[in-house]
Copies of this chain bind each other. A is one copy, B any other.
Amino acid sequence: MTIKEIAQICGVSRGTVDRVLNHRGKVKPETEALILRTIHRMGYTKNIAGKALTVRKNAPVFGALVSSEGNPFFDDVIAGFRKAEEELTDYGVTVLLRTMRGYDVQRQLSLMDELDESGIAVLIVQAINDERIEKRIRALAEKGIATITVNTDIENSCRLCYVGSDYNSGGETAAGVMKLVTRGQANLGIVTGVNTLLGHVQRLEGFERHLKDICPDIRTIDRVSAMDDMEHSYRMTLDMLRRHPEIDTLFVTASGTFGTCRAVIELGRERSMQVVSFDSVPSTMEMMRRGLVRAVICQQPFLQGYQAVRAAFDVLLTGTSKQGEQIIMENQVKILENL
C-alpha cells in the first residue's frame, strides 16, 4: 500500500492524500473522510524509506541539552548523541548540543530558548523536575516541537517520551549488591545527590526501601549530600567519617564517588572501607582498580544518548508515535572484570 494506490482508489491526486495524512488542512471534508476511511480500510501506513528521502531536504536539527559540565558521566551520553548523529548524516540530521553546569532552572530555560530560536525540529533535554520547565515543554509542544527527556524525567509533563534508566530499580539493584558485598552486616554512610533531579530521589528511595527488606541488620549511621559536585562530596564525606569512625561501608547515590574515596584515603581508612556507587566514569574505575569501590551500578549512558537521538528521528519519520512511551535502559552491575 502506497500513497499512489490510495490516491487511485479514492480518485484523487497523491498531493491530496498527503495533505490529509499530514493534517495540512485545505481538503474538502467529504474528500478527507473518504481518504481517511480508505487509509483505514486498506491498513495503509506511511513508508519510512520514502519519507526519509524527503526529510533530508529539510536538514533537520535536533537540539540536545544536558548538564554535562563538570560531570564526566555525560561524556558517554554525548558520545551516544554523536554516534547516532553520524549514522543519520545521510538523512541530513545534525545534533546541536548545549551544555550547562549544575541544575539552575533559569539557565536551563534560557538554553531551551536558545535552541528553540535555532529552529530545532525536536528537543532532547535532561530536564530539571520543575514546573517552569514543564511549562516550557508544553509551549514547545504547542509550536509543534516535540520534547524527549533523556537520563532523567520530569513529572506531569507533556514530553513525548523518556529515554533513561529506571532509578527506583537502580536503587534496588544497589541494595542487592550491597547485600553481596557486606553479607548483610554493615555500618553504612550514604552520600546522596541532587534533590531537584527526580532520578536521584527515586534511586535513594528504592535503595532504602529494599535494603530494609533484605538486610535488616545494616544500620544507616549517617547521610550527607554531595550535590553532584566532587569537592563538596569530598568535604561532606570527610566530615561524616570524622563524626562516625564506626562507618565501614559507603553508598554514593549519584556522582561524587571520587571525592568520597579521596576522603576515605586521606583518613587512612582505605583498608577497612568498602564503597558501592553508580556509573563507571574514569575516576570511579580508578577506585575500582584500587579495590576501594567494590561494584557500581551502571545505566548505559552511551545507549541513552544514542536512543534519544534515534527516537527524535523516529518522530520525524512517523509523526508522534512513541507518545508517552518510556525507553528504559537496564541497570547493569559492573565489577572490575566487566568494566
Contact = CB atoms under 8 A, between A and B. Distances in A.
Interface string A250-275: 00000000000000000000000000
B337 A332 contact: no
A71 interface: no
Contacts of A120: none
Nearest to A175: B337
Contact of A181 (B48, B91, B180, B338): B180
Q: Which of A55, A176, A181, A183 has the most CB of B within 10 A?
A: A176
B210 A337 contact: yes
A177 interface: yes
Interface residues of A, number: 33
B180 A337 contact: no
A294 interface: yes
A50 B57 CA distance: 12
Contact of A334 (B52, B55, B294, B333): B333
A interface majority secondary structure: helix
B181 A337 contact: no
A335 B176 contact: yes
How many copies of this chain? 2
Contacts of A295: 180, 333
Contacts of A332: 330, 332-333, 338
B176 A338 contact: yes
A117 to B, nearest CB: 28
A91 to B, nearest CB: 5
Contacts of A176: 335-338
Contact of A56 (B49, B169, B172): B49
A335 B49 contact: no
Interface in A82-102: 90-91
Contacts of A233: none
A173 B47 CA distance: 44
A91 B332 CA distance: 33
A55 B250 CA distance: 56
Given A331-B338, A333-B338, 5 more contacts: A47-B90, A52-B52, A173-B335, A176-B335, A332-B338
6 contacts: A49-B49, A49-B91, A172-B337, A172-B338, A180-B335, A210-B337
Interface of A: 47-50, 52-53, 55-56, 90-91, 169-170, 172-173, 175-177, 180-181, 183, 210, 294-295, 297, 330-338
